Structure 1
Amino acid sequence: MLLSQPAEASPAMEFDLALTRSLVPLKDMSESHLLDLLANSQAEVFFAGQTLFEAGDYDRQHLYLLHGDVILQSDSGEEQVKGRSTLMPLAHVQPRQVTAIAETDVSLLRIDSERLDQLLTWSQVSDYLQLNISRQRDLDEDIGWMTTVLRSNLFFKVPPLNVEQIFYRLEARVVHAGDTVIRQGEIGDCCYFIKEGEASVDRHNDGHWTHLADIGPGRCFGEDALVNDAPRNARVKMRTDGVLMVLDKQDFYHLLKEPEVPSVPISELNAARQRGAVLLDTRSEEEYSERHLPEAANIPLSLLAIKSRLLADPVEYLCYCDTGRRSRATAHLLRQQGYRARSLADCPRLFTDPEWRDELVHNAPQVLREGRPQPERR
């Protein structure tokens, strides 16, 4: 496809957007990322008596109970979950710790956990950058197109830690009315974002040109050249003077390589605690409240641009989450601000390894440990 649009322009989904936006952690995603996630998710119906999953299953899925009642069975007894009584994924510890059986007819939303985690982190890093961009007066004229770039599904496969690098890889090119930017049939090696101006998209077929579309600021074209060597399938010609932001194929490949973030092995966690390191849980407030490590403070990645000002410069911070992706992003962004931050390696073990899972506490106060260096405003 020659043209791409921000994901919010995707066709309407089968899902109730208001309903899905209330789920945790889906509620902390931008609409464009949420729509992209739902485009590859499934709504399922189970009849009373059917098994949703069994203890021991490792399905790498987030299951949300939308309607109906479910019975969770374990060696210690049964628990009833009524439809819409929780906004959290259903008994999500993997491998599954319980067997879930539909007590009534139920409807579920099934989401791939890896895809959710990637898009969630991408969305929150993107929001962090947008807030920082909005604070820089010298970028006032660029906020519009930069925001559009961050919402473009072209970059959803780029590791979240490289989101900021997208802007460093883009090069500005001044163009004039009548300039042909892309010629049909040529092999491309870059794609373009329109920062200023308008262009016409036309296709030559059976001896004549057919006008396909007029495109303006924020639109991307020529992105197929980044992922394959197929010839351009249309011509793009400037209708007005303008400025294009150009992304070269090799630069795009560099964006796909995730940078290293300093980390601490989980085996050294207790030693780090003893030397005064502060644990930062980077998940949402709801996920934190459900269970978290003792004495951990909660600074969600989605609120990092605001809450990072509460941290103290001399303190060592260890970031963790349930997969490691949000915590690596948080540590990376904090290090850019000059903080002593590292991520905790093997994060999933905290939630799957019985030895560590038993250490998680529920609903503890969201404060730093008494006696440790207290946060100071920067």
Structure 2
Amino acid sequence: MPVPAAELARLFPLESLRQETRDQLAREALVSEYQRGDNVFEAGDLDDDTLYLLDGELRCVYPDGRNVAHIATAPHGRYSLNDAVPRRFTAKVVSSKAKVMRVDRRYLEKLITWDQLSRDDNYRHFGSAPGGNDWVFRLLRAPAFARLPTGNIEKMFQMFEPVTVKPSEIVMREGDPADYFYVVRSGTASVSKYLDGAPQVVAYLREGDTFGEDALLSNMPRNATVRMMQGGQLMRLSREAFEAVLKPPMLSWVLPADAARQVQAGAVLLDVRMPEEHDQRAIDGSVNVPLYRLREDVDNVLSPGARVVVYCNTGERSAAAAFVLKRLGYEVSALHGGLGAMLRMLATSNA
């Protein structure tokens, strides 16, 4: 159920946001309806949402027996339900019905942060034209940025360098050394690769899309060519800025023992080395999709939203693969130390 943007204007701290930021948040929020006796959540629940009661009354019941009313029309109704995780109480509907709005907690925090930062007179990247900040909203919503600490947002925008590009301009070529990470602020671009001996377009980019991170993460040459279709503007980060601000928080590393437990619990073990490497030596049960084919072939081997552990020889290709998969919405960990670390652990456990 959609949320009227005007509904957000009475909620704290959403009333302090710019209208365009509230409009964006309204498009992302979800509203659920509950009946008397339903639990919106229970004590001990783990979730990723900030919740606002838009209509009705809840009884917040704590494990020690205390209970507090939360009423949408009362003065306190403009505040979110307690954001502590795990949830500290059970929220039970006591009115005939209730309407609750859910917003991803991390995305909300990022939007509030950016909205405040961009009000500074020295802020260089605010778009005053209609739709001028759509690229920011898409960028912050991307799954790959979910782990980005809010404090890194300010650093990222401070380090961005704007670059004006023309139609048909080649921004990077397949095989070139890696130098920058890019975000499309305006314009469109095509991504092509040499596949089966000929260049083929494999993707199109628009505002808010990113490119260039694969080579920076894997310390390998560019694996694609990006050519502008419409002229516009790109925002870029140097290799040094990317490694300082984005690389560490975007990657979730696991040790071999933890990786093994994840696989036993149902995670897919994905080998992103070349097929020849996989045929020569691999972890039993792993699925092979080489890094350069990952975007094209991932749907053939992974179910939507699957949990994945990726590995290569050392971890560098795994880092790039994890970033790609996060952008596609998968829950990903990269094996620390790569294949060698896992084989050493298996040898030790079998000794």
TM-score band, normalised by shorter chain: 0.3 to 0.5
Bigger relative contact order (CA 8 A; separation at least 6):
1
TM-score by length of 2: 0.46
TM-score normalised by length of structure 1: 0.43
